[in-house]
Structure 1
C-alpha cells in the first residue's frame, strides 16, 4: 500500500515536472517550482528525487516510455513513419527537447548522474534503429551500409537536428530536414541508377 502511494506520488511529480518544463523551459524547471506545483516542500520533493538531475532523468525515462509505446510495432521495433511523426511532435514541445539536449551535453562530463542513463539509452536506441532499418529497407542501404552501421548516423541526425533547431528554430525545419534524411536511406531504382552511372548510355535526345 505504501509502495503504491509512493509510485503514485512519483508519477504525479513527473507529470508536474513536464508541465513546468513546458511552461518555463529547462532552466525554469527548478525543484522549488515543481515542489510548489505538487504541494510539497522542496525537502519533501527530495524524498522522492534526491537531486534535480535525478528528477529530470526520471522525466526523460518516462518520456521514452510514452514515445516508444506509440511508435513501435507489436514486436517492439520502431516504424519509420511513426518516428517521423515523433520528430514533428518534438517540434511542439521545445521544453522537453531542451531538457534532453541540455542533460545530454552535460552527461559527457565525468561522473555526471545522467551519464549512465544516456549510455544505456544510446545502446538501446541504436539497436532499435538498426532493427527498424532492417525491417523497412532490408539488409543493405545506399552506400552499401548495413542497418547496424547506419543506425548511429540516424541517431546522430535526430539529436543533431534538435540542437540546431533549439539554437535557431526559424532557420531549421526539424521535421522537414529529418524527412530529407530518410529519403537518403531509401533504396533508389536500380534501372535509374544504372542509366545514371553508365556513361556509354545515350539519352533519347542524343539519338
Structure 2
C-alpha cells in the first residue's frame, strides 16, 4: 500500500467514525424511524450519496452504530479480565461511565423500546444483547457465589435478571430526571445488599 493509499484509508476511517458519531446522536434524538439519512449526511458535511458510500442502507448504519458501542464498552469491561464481585463492580462502573454519555444512553433507551417490535431492524440485535448481558451477569453472580461472597438465598439467575433490569430502568429515570439520578450509587447499593463482602 502506498503512502497516498494509506492517507486515503485513514481519511475514510475518520469519516466513517464521524458518520457513526452523528448517527448515534441523531438516532438518540429522533429514534431509528424518525432519523433521516439525509439529515445525518448534512450534519457530516457530505452528500446523501457520499453517506451511502460508507453505509448503503439505514439499517446497516444503525447496526454499525450499535456494534461500535458494544465493541468499545466490551473492551473496557474486559480490561484485566474481572470475575465475580470484580465483574459486578465493573458493571456498576459502567453506569458511572454512562452518566457522562447522555447521547449514548438516550440512543440505547429509545432503540431498545422501538426494537421490541419484531419488524424493527435492531430487534434481533437487542434480543441477542439482552441474552448475552443476562448470561454475563449470571456468570459473575455464580462466581461470587462460588467464592462465598453472595448472601444465602440469592439465586444468580434471578439476581442477574434483576441487575440488567435495574441498569436499564435507572437509565430511563436518569434521562427523565435531567440526569440527576445517581445510577451508579443506586446500582452499588443494590449489589452491596446481595454480597457478604465490601463492594
> Taking structure 2 as the reference length, what is the TM-score of the superposition?
0.75
Partners of 1:16 and 1:64 in 2: how far apart? 17
C-alpha offsets along residues 162-199 of structure 1, whole Å, 9 cap, x if unaligned?
0111111355221211111111221379xxxxxxxxxx
C-alpha offsets along residues 100-147 of structure 1, whole Å, 9 cap, x if unaligned?
100000001131111010001111111111112222343884462322
2:169 pairs with 1:147? no
Aligned match for 2:67, one of 45, 61, 67 = 61
Q: 1:30 and 1:14, CA in 2 relative to 1: closer, same or farther beyond 3 A?
A: farther
Task: Verify the 8 A CA contact 1:14 1:58 in the aligned structure 2.
Answer: no
> Taking structure 1 as the reference length, what is the TM-score of the superposition?
0.73
Larger Rg: 1
Partners of 1:82 and 1:21 in 2: how far apart? 24
Unaligned runs of 5+ in 1: 190-207
2:52 pairs with 1:43? no
Partners of 1:64 and 1:46 in 2: how far apart? 23
Aligned-residue Cα RMSD (Å) equals 3.3
The match for 2:121 is 113
The number of aligned residues is 187
Aligned match for 2:107, one of 79, 84, 99 = 99
